[in-house]
């Protein structure tokens, strides 16, 4: 092997080493670019996660606020319905105390209802019906049959 052959082998070896070094350098550059890209994606994902976490927290606060408002409204509504019911019971008790005995009898038998008596009273108040009794207004409005009213009056007079 002479010097020229050795020089050719060394040149081939040198070309292979330089080619490998260049390929390795390109791989390192690609790896660095990939790492930077992944870091950017990670930063964007973390930013998006933080935004979503904040939004979820805001929505939970809003949900709790709306839930408490709804509970407050239900409490007020329940209190209003209880008040109305008590007023109606009081009005019915007061109205029953002032009812003629025959109407109380019909009311207890279930022939007439409180709403019928109230409508008859309103009819008497609104119209020019001076001297007309509630029982007569009930008959005029068709809430009670005249026969039922007569029977109730007779029953009350017997007792």
Sequence ranges of the domains in the chain: 44-98, 100-159
What would the pLDDT profile of 22-55 be if each residue is shown by its tens digit? 999 999 999 999 999 999 999 999 999 999 999 9
Higher-confidence position of 15 and 82: 15
| Residue 93 pLDDT greater than 70, yes or no | no
Residue 119 has a pLDDT of 85
Alpha-carbon distance of 66 to 85, in angstroms, equals 28
Residue 153 has a pLDDT of 84
Residue 86 has a pLDDT of 72
Stretch 83-106: mean pLDDT? 69
Put simply, whether the predicted model's pTM sits higher than 0.75 gets the answer: no
Residue 89 has a pLDDT of 66
Higher-confidence position of 1 and 143: 143
């Amino acid at each position: 092997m002479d010097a020229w052959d050795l020089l050719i082998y060394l040149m081939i070896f040198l070309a292979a080493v330089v080619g490998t070094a260049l390929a390795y350098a390109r791989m390192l550059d690609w790896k660095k670019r990939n790492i930077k890209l992944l870091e950017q994606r990670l930063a964007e994902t973390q930013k998006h996660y933080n935004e979503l976490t904040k939004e979820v927290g805001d929505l939970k606060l809003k949900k709790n606020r709306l839930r408490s408002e709804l509970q407050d409204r239900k409490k007020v509504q329940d209190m209003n319905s209880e008040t109305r019911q008590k007023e109606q019971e009081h009005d019915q008790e007061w109205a029953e105390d002032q009812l003629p005995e025959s109407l109380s009898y019909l009311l207890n038998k279930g022939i007439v209802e409180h709403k019928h008596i109230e409508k008859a009273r309103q009819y008497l108040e609104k119209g020019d019906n001076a001297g007309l009794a509630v029982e007569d207004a009930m008959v005029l409005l068709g809430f009670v049959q005249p026969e039922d009213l007569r029977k109730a009056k007779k029953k009350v007079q017997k007792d």
